[in-house]
């Protein structure tokens, strides 16, 4: 019988990744990079069907298999359906990247209960229930979960209070999941600094450059490289890797 966790060198050939929020921006870049490394990829999206199907075609052009599956991560039933469909399509799951998130400004004065719930539901509740749904599949393959915190969850941003709280929650979620799912499944998180892409307002990068010792913002490749590092790092679990150009210093 073939070992389901076996892989050729550092390639992800034969392995399957699911990336939430993968139709656009950083999630798309992560999905494409995993495909370049050999993985077949489930592109999760909520409403961006055109962009999700375009990501699927990009992955197929790289010689890998891909499927786009829609789900509202605010619904536990839809989360379960997402993973059921992924399992039906590929028969296994090795990597879960909990990338989907929102970024809603909300200060001490402007935070409403609707904003609070929208942020915590998407940024913290959904990653837990995705992990819960994925766990049986990942245990079979000795897989890995990669969550996304960010520097707001470490530093605390007064203009984004619910966001900062949600991302601080992701840090603790990563630790408890790592304990709960060990030894079969490793769970780690990435806390990016400002990541800029083509078309982003230049003031985003300008402000970050002033604060970061490396004097530049991050690029999607910086984060995709980190995802691959954590996928391959078999003796790391329960950790949060800060990728911020030194901003938190």
Of 127, 106, 107, nearest in space to 44 by CA: 127
Tell whether the torsion through CA atoms of 57, 59, 65 and 70 is positive or negative: negative
CA atoms of 135 and 56, how far apart (whole Å): 24
Q: Pick the catalytic residue from 160, 175, 179, 234.
A: 160
Cα dihedral 96, 243, 196, 112 in deg (nearest 10)? 70
160 is catalytic: yes
* Residue 228 DSSP symbol: H
139 is catalytic: no
CA atoms of 65 and 18, how far apart (whole Å): 12
Q: Pick the catalytic residue from 45, 167, 175, 234.
A: 167
CA atoms of 101 and 149, how far apart (whole Å): 10
Q: For 134-172, b where at least 16 C-beta lie within 10 A, e where not — what string?
A: bbebbeebebbbbbbbbbbbbeebeebbbbbbbbbbbbe
Cα dihedral 116, 122, 123, 129 in deg (nearest 10)? 120
Residues designated catalytic: 160, 167
């Amino acid at each position: 019988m073939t070992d389901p966790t076996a892989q050729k060198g550092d390639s992800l050939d034969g392995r399957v990744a699911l990336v939430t929020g993968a139709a656009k921006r950083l999630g798309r870049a992560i999905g494409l990079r995993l495909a370049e490394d050999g993985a077949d990829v489930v592109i999760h999206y909520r409403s961006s069907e055109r962009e999700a199907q375009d990501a699927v075609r990009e992955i197929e052009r790289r010689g890998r298999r891909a499927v786009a599956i829609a789900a509202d991560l605010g619904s536990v039933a839809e989360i379960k359906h997402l993973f059921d469909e992924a399992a039906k399509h590929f028969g296994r799951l090795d990597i879960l990247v909990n990338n989907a998130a929102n970024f809603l400004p909300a200060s001490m004065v402007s935070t409403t209960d609707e904003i609070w719930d929208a942020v915590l539901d998407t940024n913290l509740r959904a990653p837990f229930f995705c992990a819960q749904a994925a766990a049986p599949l990942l245990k079979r393959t000795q897989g890995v979960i990669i969550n996304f915190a960010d520097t707001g969850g470490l530093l605390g941003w007064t203009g984004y209070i619910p966001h900062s709280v949600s991302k601080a929650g992701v840090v603790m979620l990563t630790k408890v999941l790592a304990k709960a799912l060990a030894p079969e499944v490793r769970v780690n998180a990435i806390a990016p600094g400002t990541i800029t892409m083509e078309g982003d307002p230049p003031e985003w990068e300008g402000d970050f450059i002033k604060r970061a010792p490396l004097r530049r913002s991050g690029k999607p490749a910086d984060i995709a490289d980190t995802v691959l590092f954590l996928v391959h790092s078999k003796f790391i679990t329960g950790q949060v890797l800060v990728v911020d150009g030194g901003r938190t210093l």
